[in-house]
Amino acid sequence: MDLLLIGPPGVGKGTQAARLRQALGVPHLSTGDLLRRHVTEGTRLGAAAAAHMQRGDLVPDELVTEMALGQILGPSCAAGVVLDGFPRTPAQAEALDTALAAHGRRLTAVLHLNAPARTLLRRLTGRRTCGGCGDSYHLDTRKPRTPGRCDSCGQRLVQRADDTAETARTRLAVHARQTQPLLARYHQAGVLHEVDGCGDVGAITRRLLAAVAPYSAGDQDASRSTGWPTSPGRSSLS
Catalytic residue numbers read: 13, 88, 127, 160, 171
Using DSSP, state whether 108 is helix, strand or coil: coil
CA 236 to chain centre: 18
Omega prior to 87 cis, within 30 of 0: yes
Contact 193, 112 (CB under 8 A): yes
Q: Are strands 157-158 and 127-130 parallel, antiparallel or unpaired?
A: antiparallel
Cα Dmax for the chain: 56
CB atoms within 10 A of CB 167: 15
Tell me which H or E stretch contains 125: helix 117-125
> How many residues are given for the chain?
238
- DSSP H helices in 25-75: 31-41, 44-54, 61-72
Strands (DSSP E) found in 33-176: 81-84, 109-114, 127-130, 136-138, 157-158
Distances (CA, A) of 141 to 18, 130, 150, 171, 180: 19, 16, 15, 22, 30
